[in-house]
Structures are given as structure tokens and as C-alpha cells.
Amino acid sequence: MGHPSVLHLLANPAVTEMLNRTMESGITKADGHKLVAECPTDTLVAAAGRIRDSTRPGAVTYSRKVFINLINLCRDTCTYCTYKKEPGEPMLSLLEPTQVLALAEAGKKYRCTEALFVTGERPEQKYGQARAWLSSLGHSSTVEYIREMSELVIEKTGLLPHTNAGSLTRKEMIILKDSNVSFGAMLETSSERLTGKGMPHEDAPSKNPKVRIKTLESAGELGIPMTTGLLVGIGETQEELVDSLFVIKKLHEKYGNIQEVIMQNFAPKPQTGMAQFPQPSSEYFLRAVAMTRIIMPNMNVQVPPNLNPDIFGRYIDAGINDWGGISPVTIDHVNPEFPWPPIESVKKVTEGRGRRLRARLPVYPEFLKGGFITSGRLLQQISLIADNSGLVRDDYIND
Ligand code: SF4
């Protein structure tokens, strides 16, 4: 790989040697465990930043999106989640086609290019209300309805769908493949320990790492660009954090379809099972972000700016090259407590770190150029809004 050496930054010769070796020729899991345990934060961050400067020297990107909160009933229960709602709750969302279209049209007006469809995990398996609602719309599954709404949005607005509906099966992904440019399924963690009694994923079978990995593998076999990532600070050990990153790395080495890795820090929220669980320190999270870049030098690495509004520029230092989806229209329904900063302020912070901010599509340029999108309808729409580099045309945003 041959990234610039950080030799002079370190006092500990063994860690120095390991980090330089890592930057020259890749990292082993054992090295990752040692680095995360022993390397000073400044050094880890500097190394990650230099690797990013070498592998992803261009702009820092974001996806201008509209968040379509299709149905927020969920079969599972993760003890940190406030997205999931119960029948009768005021924030229950069951969006009808006219509402979906109104959101997409508002997004188009604000020059969004991504229609992010989000649902809970297989709500129809648990809730009669979800089954009745889907049936009234002519469907028996959430996935069928997502497909219909994806097609509606493409046809009427030209926005590009990206679906995050949890642990989709191969068959379900085939249903959605021609109407979505990419899918999202967070690994969250590869630690099965966190599915145990009293742990965050005890009552969330879809968050069993085996299930998530199966989804990511199926997407790999189908050649679907996938967004995945980790939720940092939910009780994993440092070693488990590194192991989780290696799971993603290995999947990408095998299938080549992981388009980005999102790193999110856990934030305790009132009225959840983890309301009293300590938030990971900003240093721990910064180290996790830096390790992501060191372990996956060429990956698109993303940290959403809204979860750490006062310090998000630090993540550029730690090697990220993307801010994820930012909506000028809708709230972040997964983290409604954390409004997105205005795009202008993200631009200012990015430029303050010597980088340009560019809007990207919900499929990254290298996957677009790599032939991952085969639907003529999607390609036609992309050709109207993308420039030669595969990013959103500047004049499309600035009109
Ligand atoms: S995080 Fe996802 S799977 Fe877990 S409870 Fe919330 S909506 Fe359901």
C-alpha cells in the first residue's frame, strides 16, 4: 500500500514498527487488537488521516436525501432504539402512497437525489395492524410495498431509492434490486455475546451477527452495493470492535460490494433499556473511526455529523471521507434528538479542514462505474444528475 510513514510520531518502538508495517502492507487482526489497545490516540488519528489522504484524496461527500419513514413498527427490540414505535403511539408512521410521494416531491424541490426508505424489521410478523395496513394497500409484505413505493418515487420524481429494511433475504433483495441503487444493513457488531441475556440484542433476532452477515453475503452474491457499519459503545470490547471491522473487511474482500462503512456512536436515550448505559467517550469513538480507516484503507468511511455536532470535524482528521445522508427536508427518524446541521455548516467545517464538500448519489461512483447498477431506468435517471466523476453535478445542486 505504501502510505506515508508515521514513525516520528511514536515513542513506543514496537507499536511504531507495527503501525508502519500496517501502512505498508496491510493489517492482521492481531495487529489490530494490539494497535487499538496500545497506540496513542493522536498517532492512530494521524495515521488514519494520512491513509485517507493517500487512498481517498478527493472531496468529502454527503448524500442529499429525503428520509421516508415507511413503517416504524418492528418485530425486534434493541434496547437502545427509539425508532421503533408501538401501535397507538403518536409518532407511529404508516405512510400511504400520497404521503410518500409528497415527501419525495419535497425532496426533489430541495435537490435531494436519495429517497431513503426505512422500516422496522418485518413488522407484519408481529403486528396485526401492519398486516391490515399492508393488505389495504394490496400487499402481504413490507418488501412488496417498498418495491411499489420505490417505483412510484423513481417514476414521479427521479429520486434514487436506497432501502434500509433490516435483514433482507436473498429473495427479498431480488424483489427490490431493480428499483434500488443500494441497500443498507448495519452489522452493528459481530459479537454474539451481545445477543445474550440482558444484552442489547437479546430480543432482536435480526441483529444476530450470523443473520446480518447472511444478508451482506446475499447482497454480495447478487452484486448489490451495500452500506453497513457499526454501532460503537453498546457494550463491545475493544477486541470485539476490531473483530467486527475485520468481518466487514473480509466480506468486502470476498464480494467487493461494501460501498461504505458507517461508524455511529451509541447515545443513551430516555425511556430505552439502555438509558442509564454510559455513552462511549469521544476518544474511544475517535479511535474506533481511525481503526476503521487503518483496517480498510480504501473503504468509504462515514460518520454522520448530527450525532456529534460540536466536534464532527475531528472525524475528517481520523480518516473519514463521507458524512452520509443529510436531509434539508426531513428529520433523522432514527436519531430525532439530533438534528442534522445545515449543509452550509457541514461545508464550512469540511472546507476548514482543507477539503471540498460534494454531493454524491446513494450509490458511490466506483460502484456506478463498476457496473453494479444494471437497471436501465435507474441508469437513465443517474445520467441526468451525475457528472463524469459519478458525483452529483454541481449545477444540479446550485440551480
Ligand atoms: S434498531 Fe431496528 S431492529 Fe432494533 S428495535 Fe429498532 S427498528 Fe427494530
- Name the residue with higher pLDDT: 63 or 26: 63
Q: How far is the CA of 74 from the centre of ligand 1 (A)?
A: 6
| Rounded Cα–Cα distance for residues 226 and 164 (Å) | 10
State what percent of residues in the chain have pLDDT above 70: 96
Judged by average pLDDT, the poorest of 9-23, 206-220, 313-327 is 9-23
DSSP assigned state of 6: -
Q: What distance in angstroms lies between residue 227's CA and the mean position of ligand 1's atoms? A: 17
Atom number in ligand 1 closest to CA 75: 8
Same domain, 249 and 107: yes
* Cα 75 to middle of ligand 1, angstroms: 8
In a domain, 1, yes or no: no
191: domain CATH number is 3.20.20.70
**Mean pLDDT over the full length of the chain:** 94
Instruction: Print burial letters for 210-232: b (CB count within 10 Å at least 16), e (below 16).
Output: ebbbbbbebbbebbbbbbbbbbb
Which residues are bridge partners to 61 per DSSP?
322, 358
* Residue 242's pLDDT band (cuts 50, 70, 90): very high
Instruction: For residue 396, give the H/E element and its range.
Output: helix 394-398
Q: Which grid coordinates are listed for 72?
A: 416504524
Ligand 1 centre distance from Cα of residue 243 (Å): 22
Q: Is residue 47 part of a domain?
A: yes
Q: Residue 9 contacts by C-beta under 8 Å, 6 or more apart in sequence?
A: 42, 43, 46, 47
Rounded to the nearest 5°, which phi and psi values hold at 69? -85, 80
Model pLDDT, residue 397: 85
Output the CA 226–ligand 1 centroid distance in Å.
18
Q: Measuring from atom 4 of ligand 1, which residue has the nearest CA?
A: 78
For residues 200-221, give the mean pLDDT: 98
Q: Would you state the pLDDT for residue 12?
A: 67
Same domain, 44 and 65: no
Would you place residue 208 in the very low, low, confident or very high pLDDT band (cuts 50, 70, 90)?
very high
Does residue 2 form part of some domain?
no
Task: Give the nearest ligand 1 atom to 207 CA.
Answer: 3
What confidence score (pLDDT) does residue 278 get? 97
* 164 and 200 assigned to the same domain: yes
pLDDT at 9 over 80: no
- Give yes or no for a contact between 236 and 200, defined as CB atoms under 8 angstroms apart: no
Residue 11 alpha carbon to ligand 1 centre in Å: 44
Q: Specify whether 224 is located in the same domain as 179.
A: yes
Is residue 214 over pLDDT 60? yes
pLDDT in tens, 71-84: 999 999 999 999 99
Residue 94 lies in a domain: yes
Candidates 67, 73, 74, 230: which one to mutate for ligand 1, based on the most atoms within 8 Å of Cβ?
74
**319 CA distance to ligand 1 centroid (A)?**
28
Average pLDDT over residues 114-118: 98
Shared domain for 290 and 189, answered yes or no, is yes
- Is pLDDT of 18 > 70? yes
Give the mean pLDDT of 206-232. 98
Q: How many domains does the chain have?
A: 2
Residues 49, 69: one domain? no
- For residue 156, tell me if it sits in a domain: yes
Angle, vertex CA 104, rays to CA 65 and CA 365, nearest 5: 40
Ligand 1: residues with CB < 6 A are 74, 76-78, 81, 83-84, 120-121, 166, 204, 206
Q: Ligand 1 centroid vs 166 CA: distance in angstroms?
A: 8
In this prediction, residue 78 carries a pLDDT of 98
Report how far apart, in Å, the C-alpha atoms of 279 and of each of 163, 263, 275, 285, 287 are. 28, 15, 10, 10, 15
Q: 396: pLDDT confidence band, cut at 50, 70 and 90?
A: very high
State whether 237 and 384 are in the same domain: yes
Best residue among 71, 73, 75, 78 to mutate for probing ligand 1's pocket (most ligand atoms within 8 Å of CB) is 78
Residues 258 and 274 in one domain: yes
Instruction: State whether 286 and 315 are in the same domain.
Output: yes
Which domain does 252 fall in, by range?
60-398
Mean pLDDT on 136-165:
98
Pocket test for ligand 1, best of 71, 75, 83 (most atoms within 8 A of CB): 83
- Characterise 301 by phi-psi region: left (phi > 0), alpha (psi -120 to 50), beta (else): beta
Most informative mutation of 84, 269, 274 for ligand 1 (most atoms within 8 A of CB): 84
Average pLDDT over residues 130-159: 98
Q: Which atom of ligand 1 is nearest to the CA of 120?
A: 7
274 in Cβ contact with 266 (< 8 Å)? yes
| Residue 7: predicted pLDDT | 46
Q: What is the pLDDT of residues 298-348, one digit of tens each?
A: 999 999 999 988 899 999 999 999 999 999 999 888 888 888 999 999 999
* Per-residue pLDDT at 394: 93
Single-letter code of the amino acid located at 373: I
Percentage of the residues of the chain whose pLDDT score is greater than 90:
89
Say how many Å lie between the CA of residue 143 and the centre of ligand 1. Answer: 16
pLDDT at 111: 96
The reply to whether 323 falls in a domain is yes
- Number of the ligand 1 atom closest to the C-alpha atom of 72: 7
Q: Are the C-beta atoms of 118 and 68 separated by less than 8 Å?
A: yes
Q: Collapse the DSSP code of 391 into the 3-class scheme (helix H, G, I; strand E, B; otherwise coil) and give the result.
A: coil
| Cell numbers describing residue 310 | 460540536
Q: What is the pLDDT at residue 51?
A: 94
Q: What is the 69 CA–ligand 1 centroid distance (Å)?
A: 13
Number of alpha carbons in the 13 Å side-chain half-sphere of residue 304: 20
- Strand ranges (E), 51-126: 60-71, 114-119
Residue 11: predicted pLDDT: 52
- Residue with CA closest to ligand 1 atom 2: 120
Query: Is residue 273 domain-resident?
Result: yes
Looking at the structure, do residues 334 and 392 belong to the same domain, yes or no? yes
Q: Give helix 282-295 / helix 41-55 axis angle, nearest 10°.
A: 40
Q: Is 367 exposed, middle or buried (0-12, 13-18, 19+ CB in 10 A)?
A: buried
Q: For cell 427490540, what's the residue? A: 77
Task: Give the model's pLDDT for residue 152.
Answer: 98
More confident residue, 32 or 331: 32
Spacing, Cα 202 to ligand 1 middle (Å): 12
The predicted structure's pLDDT at residue 29: 95
100 and 147 inside one domain: yes
| Contacts with 192 (C-beta within 8 Å, 6 or more apart), sequence order | 208, 209, 210
Average pLDDT rounded to a whole number, residues 222-245: 98
Non-local (6+) Cβ contacts of 118 within 8 A are 67, 68, 69, 70, 72, 83, 163, 164, 165, 333, 334
pLDDT value of position 10: 52
When mean pLDDT is compared across 9-13, 48-52, 138-142, 153-157, the lowest value belongs to: 9-13
Helix, coil or strand: residue 392: strand
Integer CA distances (angstroms), 124 to 40, 73, 141, 356, in order: 48, 9, 7, 44
Same domain, 33 and 155: no
Residue to mutate (ligand 1; options 70, 80, 81; most atoms within 8 A of CB): 81
